[in-house]
Amino acid sequence: MTVVNPEIGLAPPEEHAAHDHGAHDGLFGWVSTVDHKRIGILYLVTALFFFAIGGFEALLIRLQLARPNSHLVDPETFNQLFTMHGTTMIFLVVMPALVGFANYIVPLMIGARDMAFPRMNALSYWLFPFGGLLLHFSLLAGGAPAAGWFSYAPLSETPYSSTHGTDYWVLALLVLGIGSVGGAINIIATVITLRAPGLTIRRLPLFVWMTFVTAILIALALPVLNAALVMLLVDRQLDAHFFQATGGGSAILWQHLFWTFGHPEVYIMALPAFGMISEIIPVFSRKPIFGYEFVAGSTVAIAILSFGVWAHHMFAAGLGHRADLAFAIGSMAIAVPTGVKIFNWIATMWGGALRFTTSMMFATAFLMEFVIGGLSGITFAAAPIDWQVTDTYYLVAHFHYVLFGGTAFAIFAATYYWFPKMSGRMLDERLGRAHFWLTVVGFNLTFFVQHFLGIMGMPRRVFTYPDLPGWGELNMASTIGAFIMGVSVIVFLWNVVDSLRHGKVAGDNPWNAWTLEWATSSPPSPHNFERVPPVRSRRPLWDLSHPGEHPEGVEPSEGARAKPGVVAPHPDKAVVAAWAFIGSETGFFVALVLTYVFFNISTKASAAALDVQTTGLFTVCLLASSGTLHLAEKHQASGNGAAFRGYLLATLALGLVFMGGQAHEYMKLFEHGVAVNTSLFTTTFFTLTGFHGLHVTLGLIALGILLRLAFLGDLGKKPSQALKAVGLYWHFVDVVWIVVFSVVYLRNVL
Amino acid sequence: MTTTELLLTAWAPGLAVPLLCVGALGAYAFRVRRLGGGLDGRAVWFALAVLFFFLALASPIGVLARGYLFSAHMLQHLILVLAVPPLVLLGLPRETDDPDQKDESRAGGTRGLALAWLAGVASMWVWHARPLCNAAATVPAVQWFQTASLVVMGLAFWRPILAPRMSDRMPALSAILYLFAACAACTVLGIIVTLSPVEVCSAYTMPVDTLGAMPLLRGTWGLSCKADQEVGGLLMWVPTCLVYASAILASLGRYYVGERPSLTAGGVR
């Protein structure tokens, strides 16, 4: 395995060439790569593959709906089709495509050699195709999942979804979710720790900024989905009671957990697209972005608000008027920062020297389509309108305008924009225009009419419809539009394939753009840059070609204080990643703990069987291990090897004792016939303490590795950042246990 | 009793609250004069803080918070933590930086910040433990202690964001994390209160109705015990986060404007 060390930074190129590319080329080179550019391309190509599958499913759906009372596919197949289409497009196409661009472009834009953790980057990527395979394996195991992309309980529970489709859906999403979190932590660490000198947060290209904010959203939102998924899996596989009313569980809880993830997910898919548009429109308008601060700041506002408005997906679930009112207000509020951005982009174009390349045409169309999707979104924020049109084709039209008219258009714009950088060749503009117009016509024909179908009352997710006045014609128009989109994708694919061989050679900077990725060759060499240009503003390449002019985006106070060459040191990447991981894990445990509290708050009786004193003793062991680890860190930093190894060993031993205690407790309960499916209490108890135990086990493995390294003398004399990172994780796991112990055990004695 | 009658009659200023307000305004004027400046726009912030304090305790919000409505209690709680302290800090006259002060002592270091953050979050959580919540709703002395502790903890929480001396403030980008984490902690509490199947404060289930307002509250306003708690939880959940979100945007704005030159060297701290 080749090892890439991004900290080498700007080391001589030949060293890198020998390092990661010379050794392996061809297929093995791609499979074993840890180069962020190749991984980015792998993401994009794999996403394109799944886009073809998801698109094919969409065409089948539209064929079935083309005529009233059609029986081309049976209802069960139709359920599987729309479930797979939705899941595929969201988790296997849009998210990976955006991550692919982030992987390729972000390190280049910040003048870095690679991502912060190249090998973790490769792992994150490979979890994606394997997750996709797992999802599709369900077809061979009795049928695809058929409960819709949000798998509402109790439909997704065993009595109503008896094939293994939903199990594979859960497993696939868990695998994909873990990969996404890994990728997000990598992006966070990369942006924080690997920026070129002079590239302050203030000067970050907006694509980097929005990808960074998105990564934070992913790190915080995906774990809540993961928590919900493991609960569903425990329900299905171990007969537990989380979401089944018959065992005292709550189906609404699934909706809460899913949309806690699901609404930020909307912005996870939208914010990077906003970032792309914020790069493309200025370049093809020949003007800096209008109101950089507003665009960047409103992104943060969107990210925060996105966590507070999920219940607007549940207006029809009967939360009550008071909750509906609160979430309607929150949902309307989030439209404000999003709307501000649209005006920023328009103002950027205003008075600019517009160049309508295919990329710019897609970006311009994005503005219009996204505004339509945004406006129909605001209508949904009003709860009464939502009751009227939820689960109709009006909703289908709305989110396709956001996700296709918004995100997919931005991805196409970005493809035409960055393809020259990635391949060294230009995409053909004539074919590009054909692709653009076919997409615009096909897309609007497909989805605009669905607004009317929805208002006329046509429900989504029903396999056919009666021959009511107008329905057949509008559906036929929608189907024709879908096939025009299908043709447009073929034109696009042909353009890519043909341009890769015969396209015009691009050169370093074909668009005359301003950000750092254009300061290197196309495609960039494995080490990215021979020399990173000095960064004195938000548009370093503009400064290069306009020496002596006042650069835009310079901090007002900088002149007085500027000390050339003096840069505040970036924090250590391992520590940043550890903190990001802790933030992410907090989301996971908050979901589990709140679920425990929700189900057990009104009764103490069931938890009374627990042996508080014995567990209390083991708790002391775990807490003591935090102390010994702290001492181990101190001795390692001061170079006292023997004491360091001793305390590390003690930490490991105390952790093992704790795990032994938990195993003992479990065995005792099992002997008394108490299992996960005994009651709602045992369901929540075993899941919460079990996942904590799993985290302790992972911590023990990490400590074991460190101990081995310590005995091999590989940690060196300097304070070890790896030790610090593992230490943070271990302390975090202890803090989680304090919460779990208080909520589960101490509550009974107090 | 109608809503209008309630809003007009349910005022209980007593003696202490007006005295405190007047005292605070007097002390403020004295301090401004001693620092050698005249009253400026900042005085408006301070006056607003005093007004909010008065309303939270003496208006129908304060009256209903004493045992009638959990949601009124929550509104009072939020005003005392999220409105009064930041307005007081905004209102205090700016102090110039002490040039001899070392960078590290800014905002009290990591430990100081952690304590300030904990104070802010504890002010929300601790007083909603059932025995404390019940005591504060029924025993006046406890209520006074609660009020004082909320304002003090609120001041501790907001000081690193809005301290009158710029060097006492934390770096803007760290402030975003600080505020976001607080928002998350309050959201979790809001979710628990909103969705909890049991009462958080049982004192509000059977109020001693000296005002004769219960038919209005339970009937016309439709606030059953459950609905009342739900509104309280939603107040903690949604508007609270909007306050934090606004503060985050203000911090980001401060960062982009570059008010703190020491940050230009870059890097998230």
Asked if CATH classification 3.30.1240.10 holds for the domain at A585-749, the reply, yes or no, is no
Query: What per-residue confidence (pLDDT) applies to B199?
Result: 86
Contact A297 B256 (CB under 8 A): yes
Supply the pLDDT for residue B209. 85
Inspect the interface and report whether the beta carbons of B192 and A567 lie closer than 8 Å.
Answer: no
Identify the pLDDT of residue B100.
Answer: 58
Give the per-residue pLDDT at A563: 42
Chain-chain contact of A201 with B173 (C-beta, under 8 angstroms): yes
Tell me the nearest-neighbour CA distance from A323 into chain B, angstroms. 7
> What is the mean pLDDT of the segment spanning A26-36?
92
Quick check: ipTM above 0.85? yes
A484, pLDDT greater than 60? yes
Tell me the nearest-neighbour CA distance from A399 into chain B, angstroms.
24
Is B44 within 8 Å of chain A by CB? no
Return the closest-CA partner of residue A367 out of A493, A481, A273, A283.
A273
Buried b (16+ CB within 10 A) or exposed e, A362-371: bbbbbbebbb
pLDDT band per the 50, 70, 90 thresholds, residue B49: very high
B252 has a chain A CB within 8 A of its CB: yes
Query: Would you give the distance in Å from CA B153 to the centre of its chain?
Result: 9
Q: Does residue B192 sit at the A interface (CB-CB below 8 Å)?
A: yes
A264 touches chain B (CB under 8 A): no
- Chain A residues with CB-CB distance to B242 below 8 A: 308, 330, 333
B227 touches chain A (CB under 8 A): yes
Token readout for A522 is: 């196309």
Q: Which of B242, B248, B267 sits opposite A568 (nearest CB)?
A: B267
Q: Which residues of A touch B264 (CB under 8 A)?
A: 200, 555, 557-558, 561
Confidence of residue A564 (pLDDT cuts 50, 70, 90): very low
> Are the beta carbons of A537 and A553 closer than 8 angstroms?
yes
Q: Is the pLDDT of residue A566 over 50?
A: no
Tell me the three state secondary structure of residue A392.
Answer: strand
- Tell whether A263 is within 8 A of chain B (Cβ): no
Per-residue model confidence as pLDDT tens digits over A669-678: 999 999 999 9
Mutation choice for B interface testing from A304, A582, A728 by most B CBs within 10 A: A304
Q: Where are the alpha helices (DSSP H) in A66-117?
A: 75-87, 95-109
pLDDT score of A551:
56
- Residue A24's pLDDT band, with cuts at 50, 70 and 90, is low
Percent of chain A at pLDDT > 70 equals 93
> Do residues A217 and A187 touch, judged by C-beta distance below 8 A?
no
Q: What pLDDT does A428 receive?
A: 97
For residue A637, pLDDT beyond 70: yes
Whether the per-residue pLDDT at A557 is higher than 80: the answer is no
pLDDT, mean of residues B218-223: 89
Residue contact B245–A305, C-beta within 8 A: yes
In the prediction, which pLDDT does A555 show? Answer: 46
* Contact (Cβ atoms closer than 8 angstroms) between residue A616 and residue A635: no
User: Is residue A546's pLDDT more than 50?
Assistant: yes
pLDDT surpassing 50 at residue A368: yes
Q: Say if CB B162 and CB B89 are below 8 A apart.
A: yes
Non-local CB neighbours of A705 within 8 Å, separated by 6+ positions: none
Reported residue count of chain B is 269
Contacts of A297 in chain B (CB under 8 A): 249, 252-253, 256
Q: Do B241 and A569 touch (CB under 8 A)?
A: no
Min distance A62 CA to chain B CA atoms (Å): 40
H helix or E strand, kind and range, residue A481 = helix A471-502
8 Å CB contact of A308 and B230 = no
Of A326, A571, A590, the CB nearest to B234: A326
Torsion of CA B248, B251, B252, B254, to 10 degrees: 160
Split at pLDDT 50, 70, 90, the class of A21 is very low
pLDDT interval class at B207 (50, 70, 90): confident
pLDDT for res A514: 94
- What's the CA gap between A742 and A284, in Å, rounded? 58
For A6-502, the fitting CATH number among 1.20.210.10, 1.20.810.10, 3.20.20.150, 1.10.10.10 is 1.20.210.10
Answer whether A192 touches B (CB < 8 Å): yes
Question: Is the confidence at residue A636, as pLDDT, over 70?
Answer: yes
Whether residue A488 has pLDDT greater than 60: yes
Identify which of A364, A442, A447 has the alpha carbon closest to the alpha carbon of residue A403. A447
Residues in A 325-344 with any Cβ partner in B closer than 8 A: 326-327, 329-330, 333
Both tokens assigned to A236: 């299905």
* More confident: A462 or B196: A462
Smallest CA–CA distance from B259 into chain A, residue: A557
Q: By the 8 A CB rule, do A261 and A309 touch?
A: no
Q: In this predicted structure, which of A58-72, A356-370, A539-553, B40-54 has the lowest mean pLDDT? A: A539-553
pLDDT at A8: 37
Name which of B118, B221, B255, B257 to mutate to probe chain A: the one with the most chain A Cβ atoms within 10 A of its Cβ.
B255
Residue B237 to residue A326, Cβ atoms within 8 A: yes
Q: Where residue B165 falls among pLDDT bands split at 50, 70, 90?
A: confident
Residue B98 has a pLDDT of 62
The verdict on a CB contact (< 8 Å) between A202 and B238 is: no
Is the backbone of residue A639 left (phi > 0), alpha (psi -120 to 50) or beta? left
Beta-carbon contacts below 8 Å between A and B: 102
Give the mean pLDDT of A238-253: 93
Q: Is B118 on the interface with A (CB under 8 A)?
A: no
Q: What is the pLDDT of residue A9?
A: 40
How many angstroms separate the CA of residue A456 from the nearest CA in chain B?
Answer: 34
Chain B contact present for A672, CB below 8 A: no
Residue among A620, A427, A420 at smallest CA distance from A510: A420
Query: Cα separation of A255 and A153, whole Å?
Result: 8
d(CA A320, CA B55): 29
pLDDT surpassing 70 at residue A3: no
Does pLDDT of A522 surpass 90?
Answer: yes
What's the gap between Cα A396 and its chain centre?
22
Size of chain A in residues = 750
Least confident of A90-104, A203-217, A546-560: A546-560
Nearest CA to A522 among A537, A511, A507?
A507
Q: Report the distance separating Cα A394 and Cα A279, nearest Å.
A: 32
Please report the DSSP string for A501-549 in residue order: HHPPB--S-TT---SGGGGS-SSPPTT--SSPPP--SS-HHHHHHSTTS
Q: Do A297 and B176 touch (CB under 8 A)?
A: no
Query: What's the mean per-residue pLDDT of chain B?
Result: 87
Cα-to-chain-centroid distance, residue A156: 23
Angstrom distance (rounded) from CA B155 to CA B168: 13
Nearest to B188 among A327, A561, A594 (CB): A594
| Closest to B11 measured CA to CA, from B53, B69, B54, B52 | B54
Residue A601 phi/psi, 5-degree rounding, is: -65, -30
For residues A151-159, average pLDDT: 94
Cα four-point dihedral sign B53, B58, B59, B60: positive
Structure tokens at B35: 């620092």
| Span A400-411, average pLDDT | 97
Tell me the Cα Rg of chain A: 27
Cβ-contact A251, A228 below 8 angstroms: no
Note whether B241 contacts A304, CB cutoff 8 Å: yes
Q: Per residue in A416-446, pLDDT tens?
A: 999 999 999 999 999 999 999 999 999 999 9
Q: What would the mean pLDDT of B132-160 be, rounded to a whole number?
A: 93
Give the angle B194-B198-B204 at the CA atoms, nearest 5°: 85
Burial of B139 (0-12, 13-18, 19+ CB in 10 A): middle
Which pLDDT tens digit goes with each residue over A250-284? 999 999 999 999 999 999 999 999 999 999 999 99
Q: What is the mean pLDDT of chain A?
A: 91
Cα–Cα distance for residue pair A278/A299, rounded to 1 Å: 12
Q: What is the pLDDT averaged over residues A454-459?
A: 96
Say whether residue B1 is in contact with chain A using an 8 A CB cutoff.
no
Q: Is A337 left (phi over 0), alpha (psi -120 to 50) or beta?
A: alpha
CB contacts of A598 in chain B (<8 Å) are 195-197
Do residue A201 and residue B266 have CB atoms under 8 angstroms apart?
yes
pLDDT value, residue A568: 63
CB contact under 8 A, A297 and B249: yes
pLDDT of residue B172: 86
Q: Do A329 and B261 touch (CB under 8 A)?
A: no
Sign of CA dihedral A597, A601, A607, A612: positive
Peptide bond into A523 cis (omega under 30): yes
Q: Measure CA A740 to chain center.
A: 28
Angle, alpha carbons A502-A47-A362 (nearest 5°): 65
Give the start-to-end residue ranges of the domains of chain A: 6-502, 585-749
For residue A322, list chain B residues with Cβ-Cβ distance below 8 A: 227, 230-231, 234
- A570/B267 Cβ within 8 A: yes
The candidate with the shortest Cα–Cα distance to A360, out of A425, A303, A287, A292, is A287
Is the pLDDT assigned to residue B93 strictly greater than 50? yes
Q: Is the peptide bond before A264 cis (omega within 30 degrees of 0)?
A: no
Q: B48 — contact with chain A (CB < 8 Å)?
A: no
Query: How many other C-beta atoms can be found within 10 angstroms of the C-beta atom of residue A512?
Result: 13
A248: region left, alpha or beta (phi > 0 left; psi from -120 to 50 alpha): left
Q: What is the pLDDT of residue A485?
A: 97
* Degrees, nearest 5: CA angle B13-B15-B19: 100
> Torsion over CA of A378, A379, A385 and A390, rounded to 10 degrees?
-80
Chain A interface test: which of B225, B228, B235, B252 (most A C-beta within 10 Å)? B252
Instruction: Report how far residue A403's alpha carbon sits from residue A54's, in angstroms, rounded to the nearest whole number.
Output: 14
| Chain A residue nearest residue B242, CA to CA | A305
Per-residue model confidence (pLDDT) at position A4? 39
| Interface contact B264-A561, CB threshold 8 A | yes
Amino acid A18: pLDDT: 40
**Residue corresponding to tokens 């009020």:** B147
| Helix boundaries (H) for chain B | 3-9, 16-34, 42-58, 60-65, 70-78, 84-91, 109-125, 130-138, 140-162, 172-195, 214, 225-257
CB atoms within 10 A of CB A563: 7
Residue-wise pLDDT for A299-335, tens only, equals 998 998 888 888 899 999 988 888 899 899 888 988 8
In whole angstroms, give the CA distance from residue A236 to residue A214: 32
B9–chain A Cβ distance below 8 A for any pair: no
Give the 3-state secondary structure of B112-167: HHHHHHHHHHHHHHHHHCHHHHHHHHHCHHHHHHHHHHHHHHHHHHHHHHHCCEHH
- From B24's Cα to the closest Cα of chain A, the distance in A is 35
Averaged over A452-474, what is the pLDDT? 96
